[in-house]
A and B are shown apart, each in its own frame.
Chain A
């Protein structure tokens, strides 16, 4: 029989329900894997007791016939989600030791659905990064290695790097991620798993440490589309505590999963064919297009003319919002405080924020402060919000010609840690394909498509209309069936 840790969310849920194994066995097996995988640095803290308590509850609920949707399923929670009584750091020194007295809506919903927590997952500081190298708690190391025999430590992607590594290394069957400009999809692609960003407003942002409020969305990362559907159903739903939360019922995404996409029109945006992208990416994209045809979809060439402006637009809006969202970290009410000898309030602020924030966070706060400062608002921020409207308009128009879009998730496979950390713009370019959907608030999924010549995973992205998570997941399922991606990282850790 396969190890329990080789099972995904659906298999564990069903196995516990059928009594094939107990929830406790599952929790213990994953707790053990987490304990063995310290080298990957995927978790900031482990919470085995939480996973075990939930498992105990699940086994009792089974006995009393009151199982919940996620009973017996232990999950990893990205450290951006406030967890009551468990340290929540957002990957920053600023929040070292911070213990919320409140639960984020998303983690709360997962726990109410019966899930347990294996630990808090490492991440780029305040979710600002694409390689998990900006975390104050150290790099996360991808379980994947190149097939060239070299042991270069690779990035799991970011900002949900710990989340990605944990699923890929079988430390958790499913995890939460957050996606502001690709932070779920790019890491999912880098480690050969599935990651989904729902429509903006599907998942409440309450209790989720804010990076860029108009872009931040929580989403599931797991082994396959079905597992993502199960998790997203539990994570979604209207929350009166979040003014941007969508007041809509949660569809039965899992029950309505179907890989029958005959007649669906799938658009291939020509602007996504960009210079300097390795031909392996184009190759896997072509392969994906072929699979979609085989599945009976109609392929249409479409145009999203403002695509090339998406990334610079994002790098004005996201830092601007972040510069304001992160102003609350001032050493007064919680988190780090530094008191220099010249102990005035202003000095305390400056010393605290200098010590509490890492280089990338400071860089983005500076950019955001600059683009909002006197005289530049119209030229930068307002201009960006207008271009953002044009980008959303591009999508609106394109939905007249197709139902979904198929694109690469990232412009490359995982790179080595340190390879891009000195070149911010090169790093930002990782999200060139992910950011447009974020700016328009659209649902998008990354599904594993294959390996490159170095044996590293590549993913493709499916983007859908607002609120059409079902269409996105169904196409993802059809893709998954044809890709038959079964590769996994050989355990070396």
Chain B
């Protein structure tokens, strides 16, 4: 039987999750999110009581397996289309704030 996950998240967890999700959150938002997420998590917690011994997780909603595509070049060569909606594009590249590696 699985050990259930912790019953509640705190502000630090919310900040960590927000960072993983790359969403900036203000202190106010964090404060509001803590109880909100705890409510929802507390509610979905009830799944822990279901006995799933020997049950395989669902892999395909309608039993079906992957088709294999032929190895043919059928796409590409459409740079203008690819860049059309870019906030910033220069010299055929997408441009992003400089990354220091």
In the complex, how many angstroms separate the beta carbon of B59 from the nearest chain A beta carbon? 8
In the complex, the answer to whether B44 meets A380 with C-beta atoms within 8 Å is yes
Instruction: Tell me which of B9, B13, B18, B21 has the highest count of chain A C-beta atoms within 10 A of its own C-beta.
Output: B21
Q: Complex formed: what's the CA distance from A376 to B18 in Å? A: 16
Indicate if the CB atoms of B48 and A383 lie closer than 8 Å: yes
Residues of A within 8 A of B33 (CB): 363, 366
B58 cross-chain contacts in A, Cβ below 8 A: 385-386, 388-389, 392
Beta-carbon contacts under 8 Å, A254-291 to B: none
Evaluate contact between A312 and B46: CB separation under 8 angstroms.
Answer: yes
Return chain B residues, CB-CB under 8 Å to A379: 2-5, 48
- Cβ-closest chain B residue relative to A215: B61
- Which partner residue on chain B sits nearest A241 by CB separation? B69
For residue B41, CB closer than 8 A to chain A, the reply is yes
Q: Is the CB of A348 within 8 A of B96?
A: yes
Is A315 positioned at the interface, with any CB of B under 8 Å from its CB? yes
A117 to chain B, nearest CB (A): 20
Closest CB-CB distance, B44 to chain A, in whole Å? 4
Q: List residues of chain B with CB within 8 A of the CB of A247.
A: 67
Chain B 20-52 interface 0/1 with A at a Cβ cutoff of 8 Å (1 = within): 111111000000010011011101111110101
Number of interface residues of A (CB under 8 A): 72
Known: A101-B84, A367-B37, A388-B58. A315 touches B23 (CB 8 A): no
Residues 318-354 (chain A) with a chain B CB within 8 angstroms: 323, 327, 330-337, 339, 343-351, 353-354
Contact B64 A246 (CB under 8 A): yes
> When chains A and B are docked, how far (Å) is the Cα of A316 from the Cα of B82?
33
A353 interface neighbour in B21, B43, B48, B87, Cβ under 8 Å: B21
Query: Is A370 located at the chain interface by the 8 A CB criterion?
Result: yes
Cα distance A336–B52 in the bound complex, in angstroms:
43
**Pair B61/A353 contact, Cβ less than 8 Å:** no
Contacts of A378 in B (CB 8 A): 2
Interface residues on B, range: 35 or more
Contact of B36 among A243, A335, A346, A424 (CB under 8 A): A424
Q: 8 Å CB contacts to B: which residues of A239-257?
A: 240, 243-244, 246-247
In the complex, A13→B69 CA distance in Å? 38
Q: In the bound complex, what is the Cα–Cα distance between A383 and B3 (angstroms)?
A: 11
Whether A370 lies near B9 (C-beta < 8 A) is yes
Chain B contacts of A373 at CB under 8 A?
17, 20
A441→B61 contact, CB < 8 A: yes
User: A201 at interface (Cβ–Cβ under 8 A)?
Assistant: yes
For A93-115 the 0/1 string (1 means CB < 8 A from B) is 00000110100000000000000
Most buried by A among B24, B52, B60, B61: B61
B90 at the interface (CB under 8 A from A): no
Find the A residue at minimum CB distance from B67: A243
Query: Which residues from A are CB-within-8-Å of B20?
Result: 369, 373
Q: Residue B52 contacts which of A200, A201, A367, A383 (CB distance < 8 angstroms)?
A: A383
Binary CB contact string for chain A from 187 to 202 against chain B (1 if under 8 A, 0 otherwise): 0000000000001110
A residues whose Cβ falls under 8 Å from a Cβ of B: 98-99, 101, 199-201, 214-215, 240, 243-244, 246-247, 306, 309, 312-313, 315-316, 323, 327, 330-337, 339, 343-351, 353-354, 357, 362-363, 365-367, 369-371, 373, 375-376, 378-380, 382-390, 392, 424-425, 439-441, 466
9 more CB-based (< 8 A) A-B contacts, given A309-B50, A345-B97, A387-B47: A101-B84, A214-B61, A243-B67, A367-B37, A369-B20, A375-B5, A379-B5, A388-B58, A390-B55
